Amino acid sequence: MKVIQTCVHVPEVVLEKKLSLRAVYIYAKMQMLFNRGIYNRKCWVTNPYSRKQELSEDALSDITKKLVEAGLIKIVPVETTKSRYKTNTYEIVPFEGYYKPVMYDFINHTELSAEAKGLAILMCLLKYIPKSASAIGKAIGISGKTVKKYLAELEAAGIYNPETRLLNEDYFIYRKQVENKRLKKAMDEYVEWLQIPDKKLPERIKRQREYVIRLDAPEKVKAMIYSKCVSTGLMGRRKEVAPKINVEIRL
């Protein structure tokens, strides 16, 4: 059964390439279209939903040149039925290391400029998004003034929340994936803990298990309590040293 792809995976190494915002966006869009077997340059500069041209084909030529120089794509001559000469197309160069997913729906967003999309993609590659526009600019190699301009566009479209400093998880799902992976691990360990016979547990741990079992909370929340408090030995310690439990668990 063929798996339908719904996102591209952008390598974190892109942060080191110091590309323009447009170039970052076009790189992600080229990945998306190659996954679909589309090699038409006109498609690279046109939004498939609004049918609006997002940048000129001349600008695209400059961008593809920069992407080749950055080692992100490579030129591949191919034969076509339209000409007896080979024409150039491109392939995405694979990288070792970490990648972050960007949903197709974001790449095809109709209310954002190419620059705003490129900014969001670079921001998603950061471990943490800094608070100020100038700090974000320093982290991604773009001027603070430029960041401020397109950050406002992202905020207006509901893509970026300046209070939480997080990108919309409908489009940038990495954080959600990490949380789900962490939750699955906690659930597996919690189930194993419940299956340990009472006689093999110290009295203190038995009391803690009885307490957790009796809690009026979803099993996933109980699993996180076990993971963050019981298994670490912090349950029952004073509040000032006990960890805060995030109960905003995805059910």
Share in percent of the chain as helix, strand, coil (round to 5): 50, 10, 40
**pLDDT reported for residue 80:** 63
Q: pLDDT for 191-225, tens place per residue?
A: 999 999 988 889 998 899 999 999 998 998 888 89
Q: What is the DSSP letter of 159?
A: S
**pLDDT reported for residue 12:** 95
Nearest to 9 by CA among 206, 158, 174: 174
Residue 230's pLDDT band, with cuts at 50, 70 and 90, is confident
Residue 151's pLDDT band, with cuts at 50, 70 and 90, is very high
Q: pLDDT for 6-33, tens place per residue?
A: 999 999 999 999 999 999 999 999 999 9
Residue type, 3: V
**pLDDT reported for residue 237:** 60
Nearest to 229 by CA among 190, 184, 176: 190
- The answer to whether the beta carbons of residues 100 and 12 sit under 8 Å apart is yes
Q: pLDDT for 95-137, tens place per residue?
A: 999 999 999 999 999 999 999 999 999 999 999 999 999 999 9
Quick check: 245 pLDDT over 80?
no
Give the number of other CB atoms < 10 A from CB of residue 129. Answer: 19
More confident residue, 239 or 182: 182
Quick check: 241 pLDDT over 70?
no
Q: Is 171 exposed, middle or buried (0-12, 13-18, 19+ CB in 10 A)?
A: buried
| Residues linked to residue 161 through DSSP beta bridges, in sequence order | 166
- The answer to whether the beta carbons of residues 54 and 114 sit under 8 Å apart is yes
